[in-house]
Amino acid sequence: MKTAWREGNRIQLLENGDEYYPAVFEAIDKAQRKVILETFIWFEDKVGRQLHAVILRAARRGVDVEVLLDGYGSPDLSDDFVGELTSAGVVFRYYDPRPPLFGMRTNLFRRMHRKIVVIDNTVAFVGGINYSAEHMSDYGPEAKQDYAVRVEGPVVDDILQFELENLPDHVQTRRWWQQRRRYHAAENRWPGEAQALFVWRDNEDHRDDIERHYLKMLANAKREVIIANAYFFPGYRLLHAMRNAARRGVRVKLIVQGEPDMPIVKVGAELLYNYLLQGGVQVYEYRRRPLHGKVALMDDHWATIGSSNLDPLSLSLNLEANLIIHDRTFNQTLRDNLNNIIARDCQCVDETMAPKRTWWNLAKSVVVFHFLRKFPAMVGWLPAHTPRLAQVKPPVQPEIETQDRVTSENSEVKS
């Protein structure tokens, strides 16, 4: 399918689970026909149980509900937890579920990392927030900082069509003689307000769609760019575009993790500090808690929110989805939020915080940039199996079968 810029949308920024979960749960409770939910992580904690309850209510009142979870991100839901949903009619699927090998998960690559909810054809949610208590502010110091959007309007039809075309019954098998097509970033020929474009990354025809929108944004920026990204280790093209924008006078601000949930994340980002600082990019480490957001804005109209990090996994392997937004009010809302956390919760990175210029660090930098240049080609060496979608069948329910048998026997006696 092809998508285009859609006008006349109503777009709301949602910060963290505190705003996101109530909005999603309310929308599902109002669903009349269909709910499609995709997520990387669904934990069986207080948030996960709330989602379970609202989906169960929808299914029991006759709403068609389909759920897709990633087999790597959500491997631990109990049989009873899932079985109650499938018994109520929920179509429950795992993306690339594979048993552990010697206690270790083997489905490391090509993850289904999207976070999308579509209710009927009226409202959709796109962002980076999973379903777990760690996205709530009351979780404590490890609570994640993250974002999503609630959207109504014509772009919801594009999101719904994307979901329907990616169901197992509709996925088309590519023949060996069919070449992959390369799509160009959709042009916004008549920039205005309340405009939105749904974009995604897959391992077929849309391998670098999200990255190309970032590159185009950086090339078109005139005054300011703010990028907040949890796992920042992008390809060389994007790093080069950030430096080019800064060198022509654009204020380029980058917010990365200062208190990462995985220490290696900060190590990777720090290797890029000297390159970015020397090019005039302003780098900030978010120190309040782990940053999980994947957002960006440019000048006074353009913005994006979604599931895609700027790292090799998201840019070259995972299934991702972002919403590109062209709207002055939304842009300002996101800008105010990001500038607020820069002022309140970030430390500006200077040369004293960057790795010292030693021969060892120079050698590491050379290796890093060579890796970033070559990684897209190296992806072909990684496991290239076609991940499967596995549907969870409803459990056998002996008590119901017994009751049916008793009822049948009583009917035979009466007859």
Among the listed residues 70, 120, 208, 311, the single catalytic one is 120
SS3 253: strand
CA–CA separation, 300 and 336 (whole Å): 12
Strands 224-229 and 251-257, sheet pairing: parallel
User: Do 8 and 157 contact (CB within 8 A), yes or no?
Assistant: no
Nearest Cα neighbor of 124 from 196, 56, 228, 74 is 196
In Å, what is the CA distance from 173 to each residue of 9, 209, 386, 408? 34, 21, 11, 46
Question: Identity (one letter) of the amino acid at 360?
Answer: W
Q: How many CA atoms lie within 13 A of 168 on its CB side?
A: 15
Active site residue 120: yes
Decide: residue 80, CB within 10 A, 0-12 exposed, 13-18 middle, 19+ buried. exposed
Question: In the annotation, is 113 catalytic?
Answer: yes
Residue that is written with structure tokens 């390809």 in the block: 235
Which one is catalytic: 115, 206, 213, 326?
115
Q: How far apart are CA 370 and CA 236, in angstroms?
A: 9
- Residue 350 annotated to the active site: no
- Distance, CA of 299 to CA of 215 (rounded, Å): 15
Helix (H) or strand (E) holding 404: helix 398-414
Of 207, 37, 52, residue with least CA distance to 114? 37
CB–CB of 328/336 below 8 Å?
A: no
Give catalytic status of residue 292 as yes or no: yes
Active site residue 157: no
Token pair, residue 392, equals 């969870």
Going along 168-250, which residue ranges are E strands? 195-201, 224-229
> Which of 170, 87, 36 lies closest to 401 in space, CA to CA?
87
In the chain, the amino acid numbered 1 is M
- Per the residue annotation, which of 113, 135, 206, 326 is the catalytic one? 113
Question: Which residue among 64, 157, 299, 300 is the active-site one?
Answer: 299
404 noted as active-site residue? no
Q: Which of 206, 292, 301, 326 is catalytic?
A: 292
Asked whether the beta carbons of 317 and 70 are under 8 A apart, the reply is: no
Kindly name the residue from 294, 301, 311, 327 that is annotated as catalytic: 294
Question: Which pair of tokens denotes residue 177?
Answer: 């003689």
33 and 122 Cβ atoms separated by less than 8 Å: no
Which amino acid is residue 110, in one-letter code? R
Q: Which residues are catalytic?
A: 113, 115, 120, 292, 294, 299
